[in-house]
Chains A and B, each alone.
Chain A
Amino acid sequence: MEPIDQPALLVAMDLLWTRFLPEIKERVKILESAAAAVAAHSLTIEEKDAANGAAHKLAGTLGTFNLTRGTVLARELELMYSGGDGPDPTLAHRLVSIAAELRALVESRKLHG
């Protein structure tokens, strides 16, 4: 393949973003559900592990698509969901707030094309 310049790469990246957006939104949805479960004192181990995995994946992905703030937020969530018992319910407000910010970041990412 012939090397391409930065604008062409950004357009190609946008095509990948559009393709993988449903998967990325699904990860955000897992975090929204987990945050709601923490608030309701009903978080299961399976939900905690799913949230930890989703946060880890988003931390790696979002910054690659130039959403650096998304990576910072996802790392915070990964840390909070990594403990054995999951986040303390007193953190529920923060968890909900981060998940909402992630949703907004993902849905407002602008394309270069």
Chain B
Amino acid sequence: MPHKILIIDDEDDIREVAALSLESVAGWDVVTANSGAQGLARAIEHKPEAILLDVMMPGMDGPTTFRELRNNPATAKIPVILLTAKVQSSDQRRFADLGVQAILFKPFDPMTLSSQIAGVLGW
């Protein structure tokens, strides 16, 4: 059975490149959402093994979405990896303090994104 992962990102181009990468390079099943709210709903519906979550989104941002995921018993134990273009160390510390599984950075290499994620998750 291929791994199943949910990508939550409001940027269409990034979301589609990441989905292409994880589907075509690793052969994983990918579910996508274009907002934090949609991501919460899809996480409950599809029960992914992991979530790749953008930080800066309008409305419910990544950290807020992460807290909502943790507060819901149906999604509380799903590992979450943040994906961000914020590279300043103060931002990184703030994200790490949330308790996410890992932080990955944009831009990413579509050829190696899946191996980065697999490494973090022990897949």
Residues of A at under 8 Å CB distance from B? 1-4, 6, 8-9, 12-13, 16, 20, 23-24, 56-57, 59-65, 68, 71, 75
B67 CB within 8 Å of chain A? no
Residues from chain A with Cβ under 8 Å of B27 in the complex? 1-3
A23-B12, A56-B85, A57-B11 as given contacts; A71 in contact with B20, CB under 8 Å: no
Residues from chain A with Cβ under 8 Å of B87 in the complex? 75
Chain A binding surface SS class: helix
Whether B25 lies near A9 (C-beta < 8 A) is yes
Whether A3 lies near B24 (C-beta < 8 A) is yes
**How many residues on the B side are at the interface (Cβ–Cβ under 8 A)?**
22
Chain B binding surface SS class: loop
Residues of B at under 8 Å CB distance from A? 11-14, 16-17, 20-21, 23-27, 56, 85, 87, 106-111
Query: Which of A9, A64, A71, A75 is the one whose CB lies under 8 Å from B14?
Result: A64
Residues from chain B with Cβ under 8 Å of A8 in the complex? 24
Could you jot down 19 A-B contacts, CB within 8 Å? Answer: A1-B23, A8-B24, A9-B21, A9-B24, A9-B110, A12-B20, A13-B20, A16-B16, A16-B17, A20-B16, A23-B13, A24-B13, A56-B56, A57-B11, A60-B107, A61-B107, A63-B107, A65-B107, A75-B87
CA distance A16 to B13 in the complex (A): 7
A9-B20, A16-B16, A20-B12 as given contacts; A64 in contact with B108, CB under 8 Å: yes
CA distance A8 to B110 in the complex (A): 12
